[in-house]
């Protein structure tokens, strides 16, 4: 069973709404503008839904229009307000700005800027700051409202659930001529909004946030508030919004409004508060240090926004998704772009909290049993993180770290080279962005850190190496005298299981820049080269010459930064970017090099038909799961074929697995998969660039492949 906890993005259509929509499609299918009986029936249905909406929203006068959704409602409001301001500007009133809450849905500032330009008003568009509690700064608003033509403030925020102080805003703007829009999208069905109790001029709503289908919404316009139609044509909706009405959507919305009115389907606020408390308690049990990003007192009972120290939103999203729990890393549109939340930024939250933030939102129709199952899954997520050794409090059966692990944050890479047998490890190039994660891993694994090495010197007290050393318990760090690169002064190499780490200096004074070589039982495995080959820095000819002297053209080089997601490179590949390397790389190696940018996404992805053919034609194809261990133990791989061999290849371990994949598995098709298809595409691309001829990614990830079966 899926636990859908992303109700602020959208909701499923409730059976009552579906039935009403189906009836409108099959029985009451008339066009409400037709004058025959079918048309009259449809019109009657439409008007009865409008009457219900007026009662539910406390909008007994003014206009209440059916629109396609809140984005259309917002456009209509802004076009209406700005058109009236344009006409007013010819008078003497000193309107010079348009104000919107800094945490408004993007539709608001985007529409303000768009129509401001289109209409040529050139007013200043300014964000009303919010405090740490997410609520509008009313003093600021007071200072600026006299010059404002329009003020836009949402009733409740979609990312945090923060409820705006609408009476306070009403008081603050009372003496100005500014028009006032309140985006009521997230309030519908969760807060009792009585529009006419406040001097609200406009209020858009959206059906799909409350169990109606997508494509239906409402727009309230106060009596006498300026209005300009956005869509003109056949004169429907009193010529205020033309276009044949979406009767299935209207009928479905009617069923939802009726449920609100009759208090039958949706739970009351105390019940929703109790559900939220249950979920919050489960989150506290699952993730000891969880931080809730807004106060319960000022937020919707159905929204929780939280962060877990040392665990990024992407990790949490993957984890929850593997457990069948759908949450979001911000607003639905923001989440797709994977940008930090502008809402949390506006609230001034610390960077780590923003980077780790997750929104969990349920709907007012969710049941107690659903919430209980959600709590069970949340606990399973915490347990899985601990068992994977990523989180403190690891259980006895925690996954033991072994070999090379790569951590990445915004392109910066840190490596841990570990040996499960002796419970020892070496950290290479700790990065400031990753110290919290490194500390969590090392503490939860309880490995002894034999050395914290860097490829360039770090002698300041607040360097990542120093922070890491200070954060580790003294018994977890091997005590010896080290140089400025963290290397034990009396050691020529460091043994880690059956591997040896040695170093090569790239500069003459031997203390400024070096690389680390890892030698295994089968010879040279890889070199950790820091930023020697970073495309943005320009390595000296001397350093490159040193590299060519110490390494083979095809030795795997693991970089200190990996903005393109290449995982590894070789001197042969790099000779394209660094012409001076060419003379050291034999021509026959250069010919095999494949430019990563030249590998198209299409050429890496398998759809059902190509996957079927590949598996049929190559009985030795290998299915590699690049999801992390904490995801793998929560959900099974796609059911591709009974006889395909499976291999766990978490992306964090993949750099260390490359030597084996490129030698032992060089002739076998490698089919990577992950949750969404992004990480598997990265893996397949990296393998192809490194010369593997048959590396593939399952397009769309587990989300799509669990629906297909390959034949």
Segment lying near ligand PLP (by CB under 6 A), choices 178-186, 262-270, 299-307, 416-424: 178-186
The reply to whether 158 sits near ligand PLP by the rule CB under 6 A is: yes
Residue 609: CB atoms within 10 Å:
10
Q: Closer to ligand PLP by CB, 71 or 299: give it.
A: 71
Phi-psi region of 696 (alpha: psi -120 to 50; beta: other; left: phi over 0): beta
Q: Closer to ligand PLP by CB, 108 or 702: give it.
A: 108
Q: Closer to ligand PLP by CB, 164 or 455: give it.
A: 164
The reply to whether 304 sits near ligand PLP by the rule CB under 6 A is: no
In whole angstroms, how close is the CB of 280 to ligand PLP at the nearest point? 22
Q: Binders of ligand PLP among 54-73, rule CB under 6 A?
A: 69-71
The reply to whether 112 sits near ligand PLP by the rule CB under 6 A is: no
Extended beta strands in 17-147, E state: 63-67, 97-101, 124-128
* Cα–Cα distances in angstroms (integers) from residue 210 to residues 161, 189, 206, 257, 456, in the given order: 15, 7, 8, 9, 55
In whole angstroms, how close is the CB of 13 to ligand PLP at the nearest point? 14
Burial class (CB in 10 A: 0-12, 13-18, 19+), 646: exposed
> One of 97, 152, 333, 375 is an active-site residue; which one?
333
Rg (CA), the chain: 30
Instruction: Mark residues 325-364: x for contact with ligand PLP by CB under 6 A, - for none.
Output: -------x--------------------------------
First and final C-alpha spacing in the chain: 26
Q: Closer to ligand PLP by CB, 339 or 616: give it.
A: 339
- Candidates 6, 28, 183, 525; binder of ligand PLP (CB under 6 A) is 183
In SS3 terms, 218-229 reads as EEEECCCCCCCC
- Candidates 79, 111, 154, 319; binder of ligand PLP (CB under 6 A) is 154
Segment lying near ligand PLP (by CB under 6 A), choices 181-189, 314-322, 371-379, 484-492: 181-189
Q: How far apart (Å, rounded) are the C-alpha atoms in residues 638 and 703?
A: 9
In whole angstroms, how close is the CB of 223 to ligand PLP at the nearest point? 24
Count residues near ligand PLP (CB under 6 A).
13
Q: Closer to ligand PLP by CB, 183 or 625: give it.
A: 183
Q: Closer to ligand PLP by CB, 107 or 472: give it.
A: 107
Q: Would residue 594 show up in a list of annotated catalytic residues for this protein?
A: no
Could you give the maximum distance between any two Cα atoms of the chain, in Å? 97
Instruction: Mark residues 16-55: x for contact with ligand PLP by CB under 6 A, - for none.
Output: ----------------------------------------
* Cα–Cα distances in angstroms (integers) from residue 439 to residues 112, 409, 414, 488, 661, in the given order: 45, 15, 12, 21, 30
* Joined tokens for residue 422: 């002796």
Q: Give the phi and the psi of residue 525 in degrees, each rounded to 5.
A: -95, -50
In whole angstroms, how close is the CB of 81 to ligand PLP at the nearest point? 17
In whole angstroms, how close is the CB of 296 to ligand PLP at the nearest point? 20
- Candidates 102, 185, 247, 551; binder of ligand PLP (CB under 6 A) is 185
In whole angstroms, how close is the CB of 621 to ligand PLP at the nearest point? 41
* Cα–Cα distances in angstroms (integers) from residue 480 to residues 14, 337, 430, 491, 664, in the given order: 65, 46, 19, 10, 39
- Candidates 76, 116, 164, 186; binder of ligand PLP (CB under 6 A) is 186
Q: Could you tell me how far CA 218 lies from the centroid of its own chain?
A: 29
Q: Closer to ligand PLP by CB, 46 or 105: give it.
A: 105
Residue number closest to ligand PLP, CB atom: 69
Q: Binders of ligand PLP among 82-101, rule CB under 6 A?
A: none
Q: How far apart (Å, rounded) are the C-alpha atoms in residues 320 and 384?
A: 10
- Candidates 21, 107, 148, 698; binder of ligand PLP (CB under 6 A) is 107
Q: Closer to ligand PLP by CB, 66 or 672: give it.
A: 66
Residues 6+ away with beta carbon under 8 Å from 138: 165, 168, 169, 172
Q: Are strands 202-206 and 217-221 parallel, antiparallel or unpaired?
A: antiparallel
Q: Closer to ligand PLP by CB, 135 or 692: give it.
A: 135
In whole angstroms, how close is the CB of 217 to ligand PLP at the nearest point? 5
Q: Which residues of 25-50 are buried (b: 16+ CB within 10 A; e: fewer)?
A: eeebebbbeeeeeeeebbbebbeebb
**Closest to 637 measured CA to CA, from 670, 607, 604, 674:** 674
In whole angstroms, how close is the CB of 205 to ligand PLP at the nearest point? 8
Q: Closer to ligand PLP by CB, 164 or 465: give it.
A: 164
Segment lying near ligand PLP (by CB under 6 A), choices 35-43, 179-187, 244-252, 635-643: 179-187
In whole angstroms, how close is the CB of 154 to ligand PLP at the nearest point? 5
In whole angstroms, how close is the CB of 71 to ligand PLP at the nearest point? 3
Segment lying near ligand PLP (by CB under 6 A), choices 180-188, 413-421, 564-572, 667-675: 180-188
Residue 118: CB atoms within 10 Å:
10
Residues 6+ away with beta carbon under 8 Å from 64: 50, 53, 54, 57, 218, 219, 220, 221
The reply to whether 217 sits near ligand PLP by the rule CB under 6 A is: yes
In whole angstroms, how close is the CB of 267 to ligand PLP at the nearest point? 21
The reply to whether 206 sits near ligand PLP by the rule CB under 6 A is: yes
Describe the chain by its helix, strand, coil percentages, rounded to 5.
Answer: 35, 20, 45
The reply to whether 105 sits near ligand PLP by the rule CB under 6 A is: yes
Residues 6+ away with beta carbon under 8 Å from 400: 389, 420, 423, 445
Residues in the chain: 711
* Cα–Cα distances in angstroms (integers) from residue 415 to residues 145, 394, 407, 454, 669, in the given order: 53, 21, 6, 10, 28
The reply to whether 190 sits near ligand PLP by the rule CB under 6 A is: no
Q: Closer to ligand PLP by CB, 72 or 681: give it.
A: 72
Q: Give the phi and the psi of residue 3 in degrees, each rounded to 5.
A: -105, 105
Residues that bind ligand PLP (CB under 6 A): 69-71, 105, 107, 154, 158, 183, 185-186, 206, 217, 332
Catalytic residue numbers? 333
């Amino acid at each position: 069973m899926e636990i859908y906890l992303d109700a602020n993005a959208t909701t499923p259509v409730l059976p009552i709404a579906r039935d009403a929509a189906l009836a409108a499609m099959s029985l009451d299918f008339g066009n409400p503008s037709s004058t025959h009986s079918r048309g009259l029936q449809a019109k009657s249905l439409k008007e009865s839904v409008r009457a219900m909406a007026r009662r539910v929203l406390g909008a007994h006068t003014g206009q209440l229009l059916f629109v396609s959704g809140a984005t259309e409602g917002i456009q209509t409001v802004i076009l209406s307000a700005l058109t009236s301001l344009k006409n007013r500007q010819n008078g003497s009133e000193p309107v010079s700005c348009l104000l919107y809450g800094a945490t408004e849905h993007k539709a608001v500032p985007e529409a303000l800027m768009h129509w401001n330009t289109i209409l040529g008003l050139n007013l200043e568009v300014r964000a009303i700051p919010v405090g740490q509690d997410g609520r509008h700064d009313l003093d600021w608003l007071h200072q600026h409202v006299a010059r404002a033509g329009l003020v836009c403030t949402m009733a409740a925020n979609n990312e945090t659930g923060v409820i705006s102080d609408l009476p306070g805003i009403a008081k603050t703007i009372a003496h100005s001529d500014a028009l006032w829009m309140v985006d009521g999208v997230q309030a519908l069905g969760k807060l009792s909004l009585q529009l006419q109790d406040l001097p609200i001029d406009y209020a858009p709503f959206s059906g799909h946030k409350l169990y109606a289908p997508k494509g239906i919404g409402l727009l309230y316009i106060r009596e006498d508030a300026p209005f300009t139609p956005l869509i003109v044509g056949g004169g429907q909706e009193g010529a205020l919004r033309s276009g044949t009405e979406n009767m299935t959507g209207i009928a479905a919305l009617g069923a939802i409004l009726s449920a609100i009115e009759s208090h039958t389907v949706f739970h009351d606020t105390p019940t929703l508060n109790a559900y939220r408390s249950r979920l919050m308690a489960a989150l506290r049990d699952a993730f000891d240090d969880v931080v809730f990003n807004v106060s319960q007192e000022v937020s919707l009972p159905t929204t929780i926004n939280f962060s877990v120290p040392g665990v990024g939103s992407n990790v949490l999203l993957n984890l929850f998704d593997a457990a069948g729990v759908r949450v979001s890393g911000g607003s639905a549109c923001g989440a797709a772009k994977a940008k930090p939340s502008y809402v949390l930024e506006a609230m001034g939250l610390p960077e780590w909290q923003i980077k780790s933030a997750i929104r969990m939102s349920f709907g007012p129709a969710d049941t107690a049993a659903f919430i209980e199952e959600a709590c069970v899954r949340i606990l399973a997520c915490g347990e899985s993180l601990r068992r994977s050794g990523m989180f403190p409090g690891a259980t006895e059966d925690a996954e033991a770290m072994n070999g090379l692990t790569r951590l990445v944050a915004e392109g910066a890479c840190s490596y841990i080279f570990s040996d499960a047998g002796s419970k020892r490890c070496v950290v290479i190039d700790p990065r400031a962005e990753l110290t919290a994660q490194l500390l969590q891993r090392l503490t939860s694994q309880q490995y002894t850190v034999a050395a914290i090495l860097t490829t360039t010197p770090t002698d300041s007290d607040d360097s990542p190496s120093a922070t890491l050393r200070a954060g580790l318990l003294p018994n977890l760090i091997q005590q010896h005298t080290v140089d400025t690169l963290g290397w034990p002064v009396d050691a020529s190499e460091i043994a880690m299981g059956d591997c040896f780490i040695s170093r090569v200096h790239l500069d003459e004074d031997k203390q400024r820049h070096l690389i680390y070589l890892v030698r295994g039982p089968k010879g040279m495995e890889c070199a950790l080269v820091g930023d020697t080959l970073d495309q943005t820095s320009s390595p000296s000819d001397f350093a490159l010459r040193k590299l060519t002297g110490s390494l083979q053209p095809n030795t795997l080089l693991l970089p200190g930064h990996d903005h393109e997601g290449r995982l590894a490179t070789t001197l042969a590949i790099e000779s394209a970017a660094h012409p001076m390397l060419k003379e050291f790389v034999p021509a026959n190696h250069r010919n095999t090099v494949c430019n990563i940018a030249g590998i198209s996404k299409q050429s890496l992805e398998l759809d059902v038909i190509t996957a079927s053919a590949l598996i049929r034609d190559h009985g030795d194809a290998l299915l590699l799961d690049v999801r992390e261990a904490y995801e793998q133990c929560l959900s099974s791989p796609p059911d591709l074929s009974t006889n395909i061999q499976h291999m766990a290849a978490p992306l964090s371990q993949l750099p260390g697995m490359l030597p084996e994949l490129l030698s032992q598995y060089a002739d076998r098709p490698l089919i990577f998969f992950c949750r969404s298809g992004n990480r598997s595409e990265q893996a397949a691309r990296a393998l192809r660039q490194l010369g593997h001829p048959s590396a593939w990614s399952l397009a769309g990830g587990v989300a799509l492949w669990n629906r297909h079966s390959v034949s």
